[in-house]
Structure 1
Amino acid sequence: MNSPRLPRQISRLAVTGGGTGGHVVPALNLLEAARRELGAAILYIGTPGNLEERLALEKGIPFAGIPTSGFMGKSMRAKLTAVARVLPGVSESLRVLKDFRPDLLVGTGGYVQVPSVLAAALLGIPAFLLEPNGVTGWANRLLKPFAAGVVLPYGDKGPTGIPLGGGGRPDRPGRERFQGVLTILIAGGSQGARQINREVPKILKALLEKETLPLKIVHQAGESGERETRELYKNLGIEADVLGFDPSLSARYRSCALTIARAGAMTVAEITYAGTPAFYVPYPLAIGDHQRINAESVQRAGGGWVWSDASLTETSARAMELSAVLREPDRLREAGDRAWALSPGRPSGEWLLSLLDRGEGSKRGGMTVSK
């Protein structure tokens, strides 16, 4: 299929993607940057009643709901339901896109983007797909023939681009972040991570029983795990700021000394962009084992360390590893500096404009775009 002609500027932007924070946050980043920096009219296309609708409305972003449902890892009945929703979804997406008339559509991942990208292809609207992982997701594999391109996180010469919020790129981490009261941020993702929520507080308890380190603990437990995790910290006698889901978590990464987190592509991009060292705990059932691949790439570069999900129950061993890192500010700072140099993160406004840069071959504004 021939690619539609790219616009010379972006005056109307539609973004589709959702289901998890890893898909929703980059969508919000792009839309807010387009409105703030480009003065563009914006529209978020997602699944009604999901996380993306609530967060879009909270930020005053116009939202169009297209009923869709997941496919991968579902029962046969659920898969048939998902397939049956595609054609009605394309029909509704055609109506939405004809009414809004975007110059460009960006898909940030998840099953919700399927009908909108197909509709964009039928209408001749250029669509770009964000692929933040080292392993291409099923939706992007399906949609690639219908898109103007797939933006990859890394090219032959290193990082290319994952759209992040918070304005410009933060400076390399300063020494002050790793001195005095040390902030540890635990992040299990938008939906939480039961193993992290249950075991990391115990690891911190074991650490604090042996060390007198001044720590501030912030824990994003996911909306479903917030109450249980807060109660666990209380029972352990640990003071902690427990959150449900914070879409502005990227700002918190910039002020913490260490993070313990899952290793989804968006999470890794935000943490490394902030120059924050981390212990990554890859989700063991991630498709294609992509979280392990993400985490190990940071570990090889010296920007963090990897714990397996199962190893979190080895409380004493994990506490000793935490202690060894936290007692050496220079080691933390060096790891943060290496993480900063590795990050594929890029300011969202710059990311959008790079799509319009008619660079040679697969290069657009320094980003690697697969077609």
Structure 2
Amino acid sequence: MAVAQSIMLAAGGTGGHLFPAFALAEELKRRGVTVDLMTDMRGDRYGSGFPARTIYQVPSATLASRSPADVVRTTMMLARGTRAAFSILGRVKPSAVIGFGGYPTYPPLVAARLRGIPTAIHEQNAVLGRANKLLAKRVTAIATSFDRTKFLEGKLAEKAVLTGNPVRQAVVDAAARPYEAPSAEGVIRLLIFGGSQGARFFSDTVPLALFALPDAIRKRLRVVQQAREEDLERVQEAYSEANISAEIAPFFTDLPTRMAAAHLVVGRAGASTVAELTVMGRPSILVPLPHALDNDQLNNARRLAESGGAWCIEQKNLSPERLADELEKLLIAPDGLAAAAKAAKTAGRPDAVRNLADFALALAEGRKTGMGRES
């Protein structure tokens, strides 16, 4: 039986794809396996210090529309990426290639199949993403994060394994802090973040909602909020006028620590966000990004809300007045926050990174990955 010498990970340049790949890389490194990363030309734009021996950048493109021009442009770019990936894999000779979604994973996985290298994809969301949907028939095995994954049916489901969505060690470390609901007169710590695509809505909505809260609640607030660079000044001014203590920044490198400290999180419902909230056991109001491909965030948020670990409100239904009402109801009843935190923790999969590493090594060493239909 072969022993895995190295494993190539492939991930798009967004946090939702890079962070679970990062977590797997950490675990494989702990097990003595060399990890390389193949990504698009954005590389590690989060400055996370990805734990790979080498980070390879290959051309890629996302299909923006169905217009003939976009289809031709995307196809040509993916073909260029596949040629580049084929050459890199020939030099590196990994034991397996595992993709984490996004069109940048398409060239490495297609090239790996052409070279006869075992392949797998990991789906972070409750719905199979478009790139993963294209690759699902071509790969050796599929790892999933939810017990039910939309569009994963029939023969595809037969090669699927439920591993969960792994989180980084920083999240696991922060999760050691138990949740404590706000006391009757104590401070209330709110954390608001929306990612690069979703922060603008929260910049427009949340300050107005918090300003509308009763004085007795407002004076206890300690807000940490992500905002786009161009919105920082106006958001800070809004909180200053409302006499609300707030720290505003475009990005927080210590977000897991801040999440663990929060009494309530208001955010989007990306797969990594949901995984981190559940591993930590933190209550949240989730506002899925509208118009997301295949409604993946809406599916993620609904799954967590069904468990009792979050409240899902679609953006089209969330005015500042509605958010103020929801926040007031939650903040005057801390027992409800504590119950949601417990439910979120129950829904979490803290062993996901170990499961995925076991899956990756079985794939690389030619062993059975535990394939079977999702339960």
Say if 1:256 and 1:212 are closer, same or farther in 2 by CA, change over 3 A: same
In structure 1, what residue type is equivalent to 2:44?
A: E
What is aligned with 1:335? 340
Superposed CA deviations along residues 233-268 of structure 1, whole A, max 9, x for unmatched, are 445443322232346533432221111111122211
Could you list the per-position Cα deviations for residues 163-185 of structure 1 after superposition, in whole angstroms to 9, with x for gaps in the alignment? Answer: 11126487687353544433211
Aligned partner of 2:72 among 80, 93, 103: 80
1:163 aligns with 2:156: no
Deviation at 1:122, TM superposition (A): 1.3
Contact 1:18 1:47 in 2 (8 A): yes
Displacement, 1:225?
A: 4.9
Aligned-partner residue type, residue 342 of structure 1 = A
Mapped contact 2:145–2:163 kept (Cα < 8 A): yes
Paired residues of 1:261 and 1:279 also in contact (CA < 8 A): yes
In the other structure, the counterpart of 2:180 is 176
What corresponds to 2:152 in structure 1? none
Q: Distance in 2 between matches of 1:230 and 1:108?
A: 36
Measured against aligned partners, the alpha-carbon deviations of 1:45-78 in whole angstroms (never above 9, x if no partner) come to 1111x2x433367456431111111104475433
Cα distance in 2 for partners of 1:19, 1:224 equals: 22
- CA shift for structure 1 position 308: 1.7
Shift of 1:199: 0.6
- Amino acid in the other structure paired with 2:340: A
Residue from 345, 351, 371 that aligns with 1:362: 371
Residue number in structure 2 paired with 1:272: 278
Shift in Å at residue 146 of structure 1? 2.0
Using the alignment, how far apart are the partners of 2:234 and 2:89 within structure 1? 42
Which secondary structure state, in structure 2, belongs to the residue aligned with residue 145 of structure 1? coil
Task: Give 1:311's aligned amino acid.
Answer: N
Return the match for 1:53 from 28, 41, 44.
44
Aligned pairs for 1:84-233 within 5 A: 84-155=76-147, 160-166=163-169, 168=172, 174=178, 176=180, 178-179=182-183, 180-207=186-213, 209=215, 211-212=217-218, 214-222=220-228, 225-226=231-232, 229-233=235-239
Task: Decide whether aligned partners of structure 1 residues 212 and 69 sit closer, same or farther in structure 2, where only a CA change above 3 A counts.
Answer: closer
Count residues with an aligned counterpart: 355
Tell me the alpha carbon deviations over residues 112-166 of structure 1, each in whole angstroms, 9 at most, x when there is no partner.
000000011112222221112222111111111221212112237x974111112
Do the aligned partners of 1:109 and 1:140 also contact (CA within 8 Å) in 2? Answer: yes
Report the Cα distance in structure 1 between the residues aligned to 2:369 and 2:354, rounded to whole angstroms: 21
| Other-structure match for 2:28 | 34
Which residue identity is paired with 2:180? Answer: E
Q: Is the 8 A contact 1:13 1:31 kept in 2?
A: no
CA contact (8 A) 2:123 2:144 kept: yes
SS of equivalent to 2:204: helix
Asked if 2 retains the 8 angstrom alpha-carbon contact of 1:259 and 1:278, the reply is yes
Secondary structure of 2:103 counterpart: coil
What are the Cα deviations for residues 281-335 of structure 1, in whole angstroms up to 9, with x where unaligned? 011201222222211111121111112212332x233212111111222211110
Distance of aligned partners of 1:166 and 1:294 in 2 relative to their CA distance in 1, 3 Å threshold: same
What residue identity is the alignment partner of 1:20?
A: T
* Higher deviation after alignment, 204-213 or 102-111: 204-213
Distance (whole Å) between structure 1 residues aligned to residue 234 and residue 139 of structure 2:
43
Gaps of 5+ in 1: 1-5
Matched residues in 1 for 2:312 and 2:123: separation? 23
In structure 2, runs of 5+ residues without a counterpart are: 149-160
CA distance in 2 between partners of 1:75 and 1:245 (Å): 35
Normalization by structure 2: what TM-score?
Answer: 0.84
Secondary structure of the residue that 2:102 maps to in structure 1? coil
After superposition, the Cα gap between the structure-2 partners of 1:81 and 1:127, relative to the gap in structure 1 and judged at 3 Å, is: same
Which of 29, 43, 63 lines up with 2:36 in the alignment?
A: 43
Q: Which residue of 2 aligns with 1:305?
A: 311
Q: Quick check: 1:67 aligned with 2:59?
A: yes
TM-aligned CA distance change 1:8 to 1:228, over 3 Å: farther
- 2:327 is equivalent to residue 322 of structure 1: yes
Q: Distance between the aligned counterparts of 1:279 and 1:220, measured in 2?
A: 15
Distance 1:60 1:171, change over 3 A: closer
Change (3 A) 1:247 1:351: farther
SS in 2 for 1:106: strand
Which of 5, 12, 15 is the aligned partner of 2:9? 15
Partners of 1:258 and 1:91 lie apart in 2 by 47
Shift of 1:359: 5.6
* Partners of 1:30 and 1:223 in 2: CA distance: 31
Identify the range of structure 1 (68-77 vs 321-330) with the bigger mean alpha-carbon deviation.
68-77
